[in-house]
Amino acid sequence: MTQIYQDLPAAVSLVEVGPRDGWQNLAEFIPTATKVQLIDDLIACGFREIEVSSFVNPKAIPQLKDAAAVVAAIKAGPGLLTAALVPNRRGLEPALKAGVGKIVFFISASDTHNRKNLGCQQSETLTEIGMMLRELPANARYRVSISNVFGCPYEKKISFSAVEGLVRELFHRGFREITLCDTLGVATPDQVYRYSYELRQKFPSGDFGLHLHDSCGRALAGVMAGLQAGIKRFDSAAGGLGGCPFAPGAAGNLATEDLLFTLDEMGIETGIDSQKLLACARRQLRITGSGGSHMLSFSGSCNQ
């Protein structure tokens, strides 16, 4: 029994998703130059992958209408992947043209949410992203994020077999890097463990990551469950911003600073500078007036 916290991965990757998932439902438009400055500040923290925007319908998500300009302007060095979401072929060409470093496809584990979020059935999205995958240049980097893996505001609990079936379809189409998203923030830690563990067992060549929201306060517990199941890649958003506009009840992403200080104190390497990141979250809070996290409020000192 004593080994269950000793066998955790020694190092993990944090994917910063704040500029995409955190900002997308802020009512007031953040000027492009401000976005670029905030992203450049995040880059300086040491992230190797940042979701910087989405090439979606600007009427649906007006905040991200400047996706191409943002991607073109940020100072991505050789060690950094600028990732962006692409829902369909209309978004793919401008994303590739803008120089996105990693294309992020997305689909929902719940058909109802898929229709509300992507405007078509899950099966149609599967066909669409399968076609897009074949259109990508040979050296393109890509992954797929599955929304609502652990629960859905419309369909409630999502069974493991439904998730397994969808992952199998994605595997058939060539995906290996797959992020399991708790869009609503309702996953219980035992569920995160079971789904992550079983998927890693059933798809040993898969590279699974977790994207957790903190709506019910369970996101860090979910990260621990993921680590125990061998997951080594986690999404989070500086300042804990976020929430899918088409998933009622969804609250903010797991705050990067809450995740980072915890991993740091546990001796799990991320390559990210936690003090710089906290400063970024503070600056973003000042500029956008949005955000909040445990580490932004914490006035004490940690166990370091």
For residues 257-296, which are near a copy of itself according to CB under 8 A?
258, 261-262, 265-266, 293-295
Residue 282 CA to residue 285 CA, distance in Å, equals: 5
From the list 43-51, 108-116, 117-125, 192-200, the region that binds a copy of itself by CB under 8 A is 192-200
CB of 154 to a copy of itself, least distance (A): 10
Binding pattern to a copy of itself, positions 101-130, x when CB under 8 A? ------------------------------
Cβ–Cβ < 8 Å for 126, 173: yes
- The alpha helices in the chain, defined as continuous H runs, are 32-43, 67-73, 89-98, 111-118, 122-135, 160-172, 189-202, 219-228, 256-265, 274-288, 294-297
From the list 23-31, 70-78, 123-131, 256-264, the region that binds a copy of itself by CB under 8 A is 256-264
Catalytic residue among 216, 244, 280, 302: 244
Which residues, in sequence order, are CB contacts of 48 under 8 Å at separation 6+? Answer: 13, 79, 80, 81, 271
Annotation marks residue 181 as catalytic = no
Which of 21, 128, 214, 235 forms a contact with a copy of itself (CB under 8 A)?
Answer: 214
Cβ–Cβ < 8 Å for 54, 85: yes
Taking residue 302's Cβ as centre, other Cβ atoms within 10 Å add up to 11
Q: Which is nearer to a copy of itself, 205 or 304 (CB)?
A: 304
Residue 23 CA to residue 245 CA, distance in Å, equals: 11
Site residues, a copy of itself (CB under 8 A):
1-2, 4-5, 8, 150-151, 153, 156-157, 184-191, 193-194, 197, 214-221, 223-225, 228-229, 247-251, 255, 258, 261-262, 265-266, 293-295, 297-304
> Catalytic positions, please?
244
